[in-house]
Structure 1
Amino acid sequence: MSRVARQWLHPEESSNVFKRILVVCVGNVCRSPTAEYLLRHHLSAGGASIESAGLGALVDKPMDATALQVLGEHGVDGSAHRARQLTSGMLRDADLVLAMEREHVNRMSRMAPEASGKIMLLDRWVQGRDVADPYRQSREAFEHVYDVIAEAVGTWLPYLSSQRC
C-alpha cells in the first residue's frame, strides 16, 4: 500500500505527509481564508505551510469584514490576510489542495492536470457538499458558512497531523 493510500485509510498512522496545504475558493476573501486560518490555528505546532488563493482573487484585498469578524469571535485572527491569485505553480507545489466547490476542483484539475490527484473538497469527510459563497450576503450566511467550514476543517485534522487534535 502506498504512503498516500495509508494516509487516507489510517490517519492515526500519519506522519505529517502534507507539508504544504493550499485552500482555494473564488475571491480569496471569505471561505478559503477562513479555512486557512482555522487550519493554521489547529495545526500551528505541526510545521505545515497553510496558505490560500482564489480562482478569481480580489488580489491584495483583506478578508471580508464580516468573515473576519465571525472568525475573530471564534478566537482566530485573520487580519493579516491578503487575497492572492491562484497559479498552476501553486497547485503543483502543494501537497494537498482543498476546494470549496466541485466546480473549483474541476477548474483546478484543468488548470494543472498533474495536480488533480491532490485536489479535494474541503467537505470531503462530512457530506461532500459545496461550501456556499457568503460574499455580499447577510451575517447569518457568514455564520452558517463558518460552521460548515469549521466542521469540515475538524474532519481533516486527523489526516493532517500526527497527533489527534
Structure 2
Amino acid sequence: MFERILVVCVGNICRSPTVEYLLRHRLGDRKITVSSAGLGALEGHPIDPTAGELLAEHGIDASAHRARQLEDRHIIDADLILVMQRAHLATLAKRSPHAVGRSFLLGKWQDDREVPDPFRQQRPAFEHVYRLIDEGVDGWLRRL
C-alpha cells in the first residue's frame, strides 16, 4: 500500500504540480499524501499560469503551490515516485539507491508513455500534457 507519493519533474511548476493536485483531488479522503518536487526546481515559484488555469477549469485550485527542489529526504520518505520522462528515472537512480524500485513513469500503464515538458509553450501544448497527465493519473488510481 502506498501512503506517500512523490511526483517529480524538472522545474516543479508545470507537470509535477499538475499531477500532484489532480491526484490529490481524485484521491478524495483516502489517506495518501501526495507531494511534488523538481530536479532543477524554480524554487518558490507558483504553478505556471497556464497549468494553473487548466486545473482551475477542472475545479482544482493549485494557487498554494510553490516549487521546491528535490532533496534526498523526499526520495527516502516516498513509497512511490512518479516521474514524467525516462531521463528522470535515470537521474533518480544515479542520485539515490532509495529511488530504485519505487520510481515509475506516470505513463507506466499507457505503455510507459512519457509526458513532455510544456514549459514556455502555448496553451495547446499544456492541453496535450494535461490529457496525458489525466490518463496517467487514472491508470495509477486503479492501482492505489
For the superposition of Structure 1 and Structure 2, which TM-score range results when normalised by the shorter chain?
A: over 0.9
Structure 2 counterparts to residues 17-28 of structure 1, below 5 A:
17-28=1-12
CA deviation string 1:10-34 (max 9, x = no partner)? xxxxxxx110000000000000000
Structure 2 counterparts to residues 5-154 of structure 1, below 5 A:
17-154=1-138
Structure 1, unmatched stretches of 5+, are 1-16, 161-165
Q: Give the superposition deviation at 1:114.
A: 2.6
Q: Give the superposition deviation at 1:75.
A: 1.3
Higher Rg of the two aligned structures: 1
TM-score, normalised relative to structure 2 = 0.98
Q: Give the superposition deviation at 1:56.
A: 0.1
Query: Deviation above 3 Å: which 4+ runs of structure 1?
Result: none
CA deviation string 1:98-155 (max 9, x = no partner)? 0000000110111111321100000000121210000000100000000000010001
Structure 2, unmatched stretches of 5+, are none
Q: 1:156 aligns with which of 116, 140, 143?
A: 140
TM-score, normalised relative to structure 1 = 0.85
RMSD: 0.7
Greater shift in the superposed pair: 69-78 or 56-65: 69-78
Q: Give the superposition deviation at 1:89.
A: 1.5
SS at match of 2:23: helix
